[in-house]
Amino acid sequence: MAGKPKLHYFDARGRMEAIRWLLAAAGAEFEEKLIESSEDLDKLRYDGSLVFQQVPMVEIDGMKLVQTRAILNYIATKYDLYGKDMKERALIDMYTEGVADLGEMIMLLPLCPPDQKNTKLTLIQERATNRYLPAFENVLKSHRQDYLVGNKLSKADIHLVELLYYVEELDPSLLANFPLLKGLKTRVSNLPAVKKFLQPGSQRKLPGGEKSLERARKIFKF
Amino acid sequence: MATKPKLHYPNGRGRMESVRWVLAAAGVEFDEEFLETKEQLQKLQDGNHLLFQQVPMVEINGMKLVQTRSILHYIADKHHLFGKDLKERTLIDMYVEGTLDLLELLIMHPFLKPDDQQKEVANMAQKAIIRYFPVFEKVLRGHGQRFLVGNQLSLADIIQLQTILALEEKIPNILSAFPHLQEYTVKISNIPTIKKFLEPGSKKKPPPDDIYVRTVYNIFMP
């Protein structure tokens, strides 16, 4: 019997959080090996465990997978969260990449120099309001189904709902004019596995503060 | 009879070049509509042809696909360039993602400040030689096969060749420490569809120049 997937990352959301969300939503239990110092990271590198010397890395089904997208795509396929055919996969990919683009901007905001932060925040708000949220709202409006693709839960829904939580954390007013997105968020959040993940004490990570950023700087030397 | 895919992008490499490579390698003829002005982009956006208001966009099989990765995956899927099973697909994904990280440096390079461009060439060379090339050299040495994954041409090989050739334009001896990659480069270049793409008169675009950079600024800068 295969062991549980083991996630190698530091104690923060970063690029691993989407993987935690997806595994959790799929009902897959997982373990985490936290990187707490640059020595921990060096050890993984010297062991040859990191193909490109980077994390996230996930030990799963006998493989040491790196590269967030490769990991997510593997998990999604394994748990039937990647559509039923090529065309559905293309739509799921397209929506996922849009989510990733906005998500990346939000994730990198804390690293912004203080004098640029306000400009960056305004850009995020503008992009969310005028580009990304309307695109997804319109997809849901176009077919009036419960999920983005193929009338079935897919990784696209899970990634989008995770993003909606971050958008809400940043500025709750941003979701105001998107009723179908709010509906999707509620629906996905109420799925038993997701509901469990959203409760305190789960493996979901909290927003990193200054201390988390400092720790990341020490581990990854930037 | 299926219509040819139609690519919407400025007349230059940028993020569309990988798509051109994969279509060419798969032996798929395609048309291009070159973006030259802000007005043309506006027209595409106003007509709701661009899901996230961005290019690349490829009209293919009744879809208007955006987001480079979703386009690449769809074409790879359709033309048997994504391995024979999930494990091969995942390896290909992992290798492609790593290579795209390196290619990203090349894509961004023409848009850096002139003073930073020289420094960035050194950074690219270092990343290629220390982080990426050793991985693929080891893979090729390990199985002794002609292709990176599963003994057949895949998306991983095409993106790898694209990246190697683009790097060689800037740093001619970049493969000097990697004999397997050198042999690999020759072998993949000689695949008939790829050989044709590498000949003058193909749809392969030349290295970015000042005209290309200026066109991009004119189209995309607010």
CATH number for the domain harbouring residue B91: 1.20.1050.10
* Residue B67 shares a structural domain with residue B97: no
| 0.90 exceeded by pTM | yes
Which phi and psi angles does B85 have, rounded to 5°? -155, 180
* Residue A102 shares a structural domain with residue A73: no
With a cut of 70, say whether residue B197 has pLDDT above it.
Answer: yes
* Residue B101 shares a structural domain with residue B187: yes
Tens-place pLDDT, residues B130-163: 999 999 999 999 999 999 999 999 999 999 999 9
Query: Is the separation of the CB atoms in A189 and A161 below 8 Å?
Result: yes
* Residue A109 shares a structural domain with residue A166: yes
CATH number for the domain including A117?
1.20.1050.10
Cα–Cα distance for residue pair A123/A119, rounded to 1 Å = 6
Tens-place pLDDT, residues B13-48: 999 999 999 999 999 999 999 999 999 999 999 999
Cα–Cα distance for residue pair B90/B86, rounded to 1 Å = 6
Tens-place pLDDT, residues A141-167: 999 999 999 999 999 999 999 999 999
Strands (E), chain B: 6-10, 31-35, 57-60, 63-66
* Residue A129 shares a structural domain with residue A178: yes
Query: Is the separation of the CB atoms in B67 and B40 below 8 Å?
Result: no
Q: Which chain A residues are Cβ-neighbours of B135 within 8 angstroms?
A: 51-52
Tens-place pLDDT, residues A32-50: 999 999 999 999 999 999 9
The amino acid present at B182, given as its one-letter code, is Q
With a cut of 80, say whether residue A188 has pLDDT above it.
Answer: yes
Q: Is the Cβ of A93 closer than 8 Å to some Cβ of chain B?
A: yes
* Residue B74 shares a structural domain with residue B19: yes
Chain B: give the shortest CA distance to residue A87, in Å. 8
- Least CB–CB distance from B70: residue in A68, A94, A131: A94
Q: How, if at all, do strands A6-9 and A31-34 pair?
A: parallel
* Beta pairing partners, A34: A9
In a domain, B222, yes or no: no
Nearest CA in chain B to A94: B70
pLDDT at A210: 83
* Residue B127 shares a structural domain with residue B52: no
pLDDT, mean over chain B: 97
Cβ distance of A90 and B74 shorter than 8 Å: yes
- Average pLDDT on B184-198 reads 98
In a domain, A219, yes or no: no
With a cut of 60, say whether residue B1 has pLDDT above it.
Answer: no
With a cut of 70, say whether residue B123 has pLDDT above it.
Answer: yes
Chain B interface, Cβ < 8 Å to A: 51-53, 61, 63, 65-70, 73-74, 77-78, 86-87, 89-90, 93-94, 97-98, 101, 131-132, 135
CATH number for the domain including B66?
3.40.30.10
* Residue A98 shares a structural domain with residue A185: yes
Is residue A6 helix, strand or coil?
Answer: strand
* Residue A99 shares a structural domain with residue A180: yes
Number of domains in chain B: 2
Which residue range is the domain that position B140 belongs to?
86-191
In a domain, A103, yes or no: yes
* Residue A116 shares a structural domain with residue A66: no
**Which of the four pLDDT bands, split at 50, 70 and 90, describes residue B59?**
very high
* Residue A174 shares a structural domain with residue A106: yes
pLDDT at A221: 87
* Residue A88 shares a structural domain with residue A181: yes
* Residue B177 shares a structural domain with residue B103: yes
Chain B: give the shortest CA distance to residue A106, in Å. 17
* Neighbouring C-alpha atoms within 13 Å toward the C-beta of B83: 17
| Percent of chain B residues past pLDDT 90, beyond the cut | 97
Number of domains in chain A: 2
With a cut of 80, say whether residue A1 has pLDDT above it.
Answer: no
Nearest CA in chain A to B52: A131
With a cut of 90, say whether residue A185 has pLDDT above it.
Answer: yes
**Which of the four pLDDT bands, split at 50, 70 and 90, describes residue A2?**
low
pLDDT at A7: 98
In a domain, A215, yes or no: no
pLDDT at A215: 87
Q: Which chain B residues are Cβ-neighbours of A98 within 8 angstroms?
A: 51-52, 67
* Residue B41 shares a structural domain with residue B98: no
Which residue range is the domain that position A60 belongs to?
4-77+195-209
In a domain, B23, yes or no: yes
* Residue B109 shares a structural domain with residue B62: no
**Which of the four pLDDT bands, split at 50, 70 and 90, describes residue B222?**
confident
* Residue B51 shares a structural domain with residue B25: yes
Tens-place pLDDT, residues A167-182: 999 999 999 999 999 9
Nearest CA in chain B to A55: B98
With a cut of 90, say whether residue B2 has pLDDT above it.
Answer: no
Cβ distance of A67 and B94 shorter than 8 Å: yes
* Residue B115 shares a structural domain with residue B144: yes
pLDDT, mean over chain A: 96
Chain B: give the shortest CA distance to residue A218, in Å. 21
In a domain, B113, yes or no: yes
